[in-house]
Amino acid sequence: MLRIFGRKEREKRENEAAKMTSLEQLCADDKETYEALLPVMILNPRKIEASMKQAADNAKKYEKEKDLASARMWYQIAGGLAIYEGNAKRVIEYFQSLERVTGQKFPILKNPEKAVAKAQEYYKKYLPA
C-alpha cells in the first residue's frame, strides 16, 4: 500500500510539473520574480515589428495627445522590449511611465535587475539565436 501511495504522489508531482509553463519552471524558486514578469514579459519579442525606441516614441506621442489607451499599450511594449534587450534602466523608465499613465503598480519595479536577469535566462534557453 505504501509503495502505491508513493508512486501516485510522484506521478501527481510530475503531472503538475508538466502543466507548468516554461517561465514558471524557470522561476520555480522565485515566485516574486515570476509574478513580476508574468504580466509584462513578451515571451516571443521577435514578433514585435517596432523597436524599443519606436515603441517609446509612440508612447510619449500618445501620452502627449492624451490618448492614454494607446500610450499604455506602447509603454508596455517598450518595457517588454527593454526586458528582452536586458536593459534594466529602460525597464524602470518605461514601467514608471506606465504606472503614471495607468495608475497601476507594476511589481517588476521592486527589483528590475533581478527580473531582467531571470528573463534573460528564459530568452537564452527558449529563444535560441
Q: Which residue has the higher pLDDT, 71 or 28?
A: 71
Of 93, 106, 104, 126, the C-alpha closest to 37 is 106
- Residue 93 identity: E
pTM of this structure: 0.83
Structural domain includes residue 15: no
* Residue 14, pLDDT above cutoff 80: no
pLDDT at 13: 54
pLDDT band, residue 10 (cuts 50/70/90)? low
Structural domain includes residue 6: no
Structural domain includes residue 106: yes
* Residue 3, pLDDT above cutoff 60: no
Structural domain includes residue 107: yes
User: pLDDT per residue over 74-118, tens digit each?
Assistant: 999 999 999 999 999 999 999 999 999 999 999 999 999 999 999
How far, in whole angstroms, is CA 89 from its chain's centroid? 15
Structural domain includes residue 53: yes
Range(s) of the domain holding residue 88: 29-126
How far, in whole angstroms, is CA 42 from its chain's centroid? 6
Structural domain includes residue 5: no
Angle between helices 52-64 and 88-102 (to 10 degrees): 20
If one counts the domains in the chain, the total is 1
Structural domain includes residue 21: no
Structural domain includes residue 113: yes
